[in-house]
């Protein structure tokens, strides 16, 4: 049979309806919607009984799925019917939230867990559409609404949405989500990471309604600080995509109409001579309003430029030194867990502010949108990255596509965030040809999607053969990115802190140099000699010595030590000291500051003073 005939036959067979492709639709995040956050019923399913039948066939691919399929969310018809699951009598978990820190028995669980939420809905008005929007689910999510599959999404840290219009109904609805956080070699990240693989619906879930034709995307940016030209693009979706959108920035007295073409695209450009730039010193945001038909979408947008010149980073045309800190999206309370609320995000960024930071590296995956928006309001510059971490299946095209999707979804979500100045492609990846090809491809993609930001990647350094005190950064990736960033642990994985005084650097690139990590482990409250590992004194001394060493690097444009708070890691078993936590935080997992916090605070204070 020819391939064509086979495809045709396949299309005619009465298979289950095709699942949808997940969409990002960044405008959903600023629209009001019905929150589905709160208590969700759950069933732990390590053998995936709810997903596969006993012949290991996915139940949702059957034309006539058995009532034992969890996604159908049924109750026995009468006392005689055998059904071996029941969401009604199941326990609950909070959404958003990881499952690991909510139930003792789920602390180290990696596998499938089913969530179910029932919600009342008023019904769609004439011509309205509905989308089910997930802030993130780690790692794979199969989404069902009222027994119908919407789709499968992969990747734990980016938003996705499915159109729910045909399946959502007036009255009570059931959403079932199978979340599976098993690790795979060909996934992004891969099997091995130095952070805990929190599973679950870790970010908010909402049902958002929009008109039949709606504004799905808008991009707006400052092109040049000299001309103050602002430009952007708009995307309408729906039958009447060829139309017009009104854009206004009331505070600037700007109002214009943008025509969209048959595919819903429109672009605009205007001069805003009175525009104030967004900067850490003055994080000015403007209300931007977009109107079309009966709908109106409002966002808060800042305008700035960022570029490099030789070894400098220029923000709005002026050199800036990045006083940074790395942050994991993790709480500083006993037990850790994913950050799920604005107050928790605020706690982390408040510590960063107390350190006198003007920059955060949000490691090692895109953080919650709330975190990025809050950083923007507080005047904190942001580095955002995708979890291309350590080893990745570099020669696997499917792996590349996953990473590429994460990159474009991250860019799409945060394109309008002035605070985000750096997209990072990877962390500590080995220097070899397949890896460099993989990352160059990603770099090309990032540049084609976004010309308003700088690209980087946390690279590595090595000792010069035969001269241990000479540290070299040599990586073909450095030729591709805009900022030469690297992680270095002189004094922790590489000798003792006193080594810092002897180190010389060879970094042969005429680009800004950024140290994306340095640090030392310390158990808060453990004191001793400054040469004793895991004491607060060791960490404090390492900071002192490292800061002095970094001051000698020509072209240094900033750094982000590792890391703001202690975080859970399966690679940190040392009893009584680590107990499953990476202890390189400046703040403990209980929220107590360590000595080195004040060392860095003071250093940044002096830098800040000197820049005035
Ligand atoms: C690194 C990694 C980071 C680790 C850190 C450490 O270089 O980028 O994810 O947690 O070192 O503590 O070893």
Q: Which ligand 1 atom sits nearest the alpha carbon of residue 193?
A: 9
Task: Name the residue of 189, 190, 194 whose CB sits within 8 Å of the most ligand 1 atoms, as the mutation to test its pocket.
Answer: 194
What's residue 333's pLDDT? 86
- Measure the CA–CA gap between 212 and 572, rounded to whole angstroms: 52
pLDDT over threshold 50, residue 13 = no
Residues 74-88, mean pLDDT to the nearest whole number: 97
**Its pTM surpasses 0.85:** yes
Task: Name the residue of 428, 457, 577 whose CB sits within 8 Å of the most ligand 1 atoms, as the mutation to test its pocket.
Answer: 428
194 CA to centre of ligand 1 in angstroms: 6
pLDDT over threshold 70, residue 436 = yes
Q: Which ligand 1 atom sits nearest the alpha carbon of residue 493?
A: 13
pLDDT tens digits for range 229-245: 999 999 999 989 999 99
What's residue 335's pLDDT? 82
Residues 520/584, Cβ–Cβ less than 8 Å: yes
463 CA to centre of ligand 1 in angstroms: 18
Q: Which residues line ligand 1 (CB under 6 A)?
A: 194, 364, 427-428, 487, 517, 562, 582, 584
pLDDT over threshold 90, residue 6 = no
570 CA to centre of ligand 1 in angstroms: 13
Percent of the chain with pLDDT over 70: 97
Q: Measuring from atom 3 of ligand 1, which residue has the nearest CA?
A: 194
Q: Measuring from atom 13 of ligand 1, which residue has the nearest CA?
A: 194
Which is higher by pLDDT, 606 or 332?
606
What's residue 334's pLDDT? 75
Task: Name the residue of 517, 571, 573, 581 whose CB sits within 8 Å of the most ligand 1 atoms, as the mutation to test its pocket.
Answer: 517
Q: Which ligand 1 atom sits nearest the alpha carbon of residue 521?
A: 12
Q: Which ligand 1 atom sits nearest the alpha carbon of residue 567?
A: 10
- Measure the CA–CA gap between 233 and 253, rounded to whole angstroms: 20
What's residue 2's pLDDT? 42
pLDDT over threshold 80, residue 19 = no
pLDDT tier, 611 (very low <50, low <70, confident <90, very high otherwise): confident
Residues 236-260, mean pLDDT to the nearest whole number: 96
Percent of the chain with pLDDT over 90: 94
Q: Maximum Cα–Cα distance for the chain, whole Å? A: 79
160 CA to centre of ligand 1 in angstroms: 29
585 CA to centre of ligand 1 in angstroms: 11
As a whole number, the mean pLDDT across the chain is: 95
Residues 403/188, Cβ–Cβ less than 8 Å: yes
- For the record, the structure tokens of 403 come out as 């990473």
- Measure the CA–CA gap between 501 and 486, rounded to whole angstroms: 19
pLDDT tens digits for range 287-314: 999 999 999 999 999 999 999 999 999 9
376 CA to centre of ligand 1 in angstroms: 26
**By C-alpha distance, which of 167, 165, 150 is closest to 17?**
150
Residues 425-438, mean pLDDT to the nearest whole number: 98
245 CA to centre of ligand 1 in angstroms: 46
Residue 59 neighbours by CB under 8 Å, 6+ apart: 50, 51, 52, 53, 65, 66, 68, 69, 71
pLDDT over threshold 80, residue 45 = yes
Q: Measuring from atom 9 of ligand 1, which residue has the nearest CA?
A: 194
pLDDT tens digits for range 598-607: 999 999 999 9
3-state secondary structure labels for all residues of 143-191: EEECCEEEEEEECCCCCEEEECCCCCCCEEEEEEEEEECCCCCCCCCCC
pLDDT tier, 469 (very low <50, low <70, confident <90, very high otherwise): very high
Q: Measuring from atom 4 of ligand 1, which residue has the nearest CA?
A: 194
Task: Name the residue of 461, 582, 585 whose CB sits within 8 Å of the most ligand 1 atoms, as the mutation to test its pocket.
Answer: 582
Residues 169-179, mean pLDDT to the nearest whole number: 98
pLDDT over threshold 90, residue 15 = no
Residues 279/316, Cβ–Cβ less than 8 Å: yes
Span of 4-8, 69-73, 581-585 with lowest mean pLDDT: 4-8
What's residue 446's pLDDT? 98
164 CA to centre of ligand 1 in angstroms: 41
- Write down how long the chain is: 612
447 CA to centre of ligand 1 in angstroms: 27
pLDDT tens digits for range 544-593: 999 999 999 999 999 999 999 999 999 999 999 999 999 999 999 999 99
211 CA to centre of ligand 1 in angstroms: 46
pLDDT tier, 9 (very low <50, low <70, confident <90, very high otherwise): very low
Q: Which ligand 1 atom sits nearest the alpha carbon of residue 427?
A: 8
495 CA to centre of ligand 1 in angstroms: 16
Strand 359-362 and strand 286-292: the pairing is: unpaired
Q: Measuring from atom 7 of ligand 1, which residue has the nearest CA?
A: 487
pLDDT over threshold 50, residue 498 = yes
Residues 140/153, Cβ–Cβ less than 8 Å: yes
584 CA to centre of ligand 1 in angstroms: 9
Q: Which ligand 1 atom sits nearest the alpha carbon of residue 487?
A: 7
- For the record, the structure tokens of 147 come out as 């027994």
Helix axes 369-378, 342-354, angle to 10 degrees: 40
486 CA to centre of ligand 1 in angstroms: 12
């Amino acid at each position: 049979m020819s391939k064509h005939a086979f495809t045709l036959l396949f299309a005619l067979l009465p298979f289950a309806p095709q699942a949808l492709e997940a969409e990002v639709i960044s405008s959903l995040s600023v629209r009001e919607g019905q929150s589905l956050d709160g208590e969700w019923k759950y069933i732990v399913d390590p053998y995936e009984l709810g997903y596969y039948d006993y012949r290991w066939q996915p139940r949702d691919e059957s034309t006539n799925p058995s009532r034992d399929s969890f996604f159908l969310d049924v109750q026995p018809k009468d006392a005689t019917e055998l059904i071996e699951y029941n969401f009604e009598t199941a326990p609950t978990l909070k959404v958003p939230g990881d499952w690991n820190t909510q139930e003792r028995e789920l602390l180290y669980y990696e596998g499938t867990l089913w969530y179910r939420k029932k919600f009342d809905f008023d019904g769609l008005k004439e011509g309205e559409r509905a989308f089910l929007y997930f802030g993130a689910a780690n790692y794979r999510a199969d989404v069902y609404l009222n027994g119908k599959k919407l789709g499968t999404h992969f990747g734990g840290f980016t938003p996705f949405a499915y159109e729910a219009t045909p399946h959502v109904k007036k009255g009570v609805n059931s959403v079932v989500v199978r979340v599976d956080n098993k690790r795979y070699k060909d996934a992004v990240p891969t099997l091995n990471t130095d952070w805990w693989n929190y599973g679950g619906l870790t970010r908010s879930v909402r049902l958002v309604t929009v008109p039949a034709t709606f504004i799905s995307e808008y991009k707006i940016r400052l092109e040049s600080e000299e001309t103050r030209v602002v430009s952007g693009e708009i995307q309408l979706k729906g039958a009447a995509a060829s139309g017009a959108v009104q854009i206004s920035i009331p505070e600037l007295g700007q109002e214009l109409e943008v025509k969209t073409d048959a595919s819903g695209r429109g672009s605009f450009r205007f001069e805003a001579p009175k525009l104030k730039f967004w900067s850490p010193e003055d994080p000015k945001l403007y209300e931007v309003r977009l109107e079309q038909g009966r709908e109106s979408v409002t966002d808060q947008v800042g305008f700035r430029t960022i570029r490099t010149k030789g070894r400098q980073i220029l923000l709005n045309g002026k050199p800036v030194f990045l006083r940074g800190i790395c942050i994991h999206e993790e709480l500083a309370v006993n037990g850790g867990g994913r950050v799920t609320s604005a107050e928790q995000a605020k706690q982390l960024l408040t510590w960063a502010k107390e350190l006198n930071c003007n920059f955060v590296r949000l490691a090692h995956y895109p953080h919650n949108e709330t975190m990025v928006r809050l950083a923007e309001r507080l005047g904190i510059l942001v580095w955002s990255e995708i979890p291309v971490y350590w080893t990745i299946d570099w020669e696997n095209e499917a792996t590349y596509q996953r990473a590429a999707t994460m990159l474009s979804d991250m860019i799409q979500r945060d394109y309008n965030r002035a605070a985000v100045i750096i997209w990072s492609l990877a962390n500590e990846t080995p220097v070899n040809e397949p890896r460099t090809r993989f990352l160059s491809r990603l770099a090309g993609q990032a540049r084609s999607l976004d010309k308003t930001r700088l690209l980087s990647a946390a690279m590595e350094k090595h000792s010069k053969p035969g001269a241990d005190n000479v540290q070299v950064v040599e990586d073909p990736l450095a030729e591709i990115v805009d900022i030469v960033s690297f992680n270095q642990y002189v004094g922790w994985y590489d000798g003792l802190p006193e080594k810092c005084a002897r180190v010389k650097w060879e970094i042969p690139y005429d680009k800004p140099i950024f140290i994306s990590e340095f640090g030392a482990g310390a158990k808060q409250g453990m004191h001793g000699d400054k040469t004793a590992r895991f004491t607060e004194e060791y960490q404090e001394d390492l900071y002192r010595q490292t800061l002095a060493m970094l001051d000698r690097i020509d072209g240094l444009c900033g750094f982000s030590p590792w890391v703001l708070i202690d975080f859970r890691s399966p690679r940190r078993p040392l009893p009584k000291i680590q107990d499953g936590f990476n202890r390189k935080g400046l703040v403990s997992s209980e929220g107590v500051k360590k000595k080195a916090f004040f060392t860095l605070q003071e250093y940044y204070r002096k830098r800040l003073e000197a820049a005035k």
